[in-house]
Amino acid sequence: MQRVLVCTIAVALAASASGQTHGTKQVKGLTYCIKHDIPTISVIGYHSVRTRDKLVLVHDWDPLSIACDERSPNRLADDSKFYPTSIHTMRGIVTFCPRCNADYWHCRGSSRRLTDADVHQITALATRQSQFCAPILHIFAVSSPKAAVIGGHEQRVGDIFTDIVLAKRHGKWAVEYPVSAHKVVAIGRSDL
């Protein structure tokens, strides 16, 4: 029994480390998200270290992330980010379903509700940023008292989408992390 558990954990970690997703299907040579029936997208991003000599495994500590992961099979994995961090240092292609990614963050922020007044202030602040691409695609609470806004387009190669993180201070929303732009470099590719 113990050997089976160890083997199961090893296979799961290897699949996670290799970036495999199990919620995809192939349609006319393109990789589609099974849940949303749309092609996955690929953008330039950053991964945790994956070399022949070193592998850094990254997993979210929040217990809610497990339930949210199950609902969002093709989200941007914990070992990948749009921007570099102290853990995510290797530049490369990251592939995900944008709707799974939004579903994941909506799920993670579900305990933190944004009021209508919050959404109005967030919308006004995000759209005033000159680099922010319209239309707004998603607004969701990230952590208390922060929210993320994603705007632009993410359906075709060459599309640009942007994100911005805002924080509420003394009753007003302010920019926490400035607008970051991402260009879709591939659609429906699982071999990148």
The more confidently predicted of residues 157 and 23 is 157
Average pLDDT over residues 150-155: 95
Confidence category of residue 169, pLDDT binned at 50, 70, 90: very high
| pLDDT tens-digit readout, 92-108 | 999 999 999 999 988 88
The answer, yes or no, to whether the previous bond of 135 is cis (omega within 30 of 0) is: yes
Q: What pLDDT score does 192 carry? A: 62
Confidence category of residue 48, pLDDT binned at 50, 70, 90: confident
Amino acid 191 reads D
Q: Is the pLDDT of residue 158 over 90?
A: yes
Q: What pLDDT score does 147 carry? A: 92
Average pLDDT over residues 42-71: 80
Rounded CA-CA distance 69/53 in Å is: 28
Rounded-to-5 percentages of helix, strand, coil across the chain: 25, 35, 40
The set of long-range contacts for 132-135, using a CB threshold of 8 Å and a minimum separation of 24, is 132/162, 132/164, 132/179, 133/160, 133/161, 133/162, 133/181
Residue 179 CA, distance from chain mean position? 15
Reference 192, options 152, 157, 163; nearest CA is: 157
With b for 16 or more beta-carbon neighbours within 10 A and e for fewer, the 18-36 pattern comes to: ebebebbeeeeebbbbebb
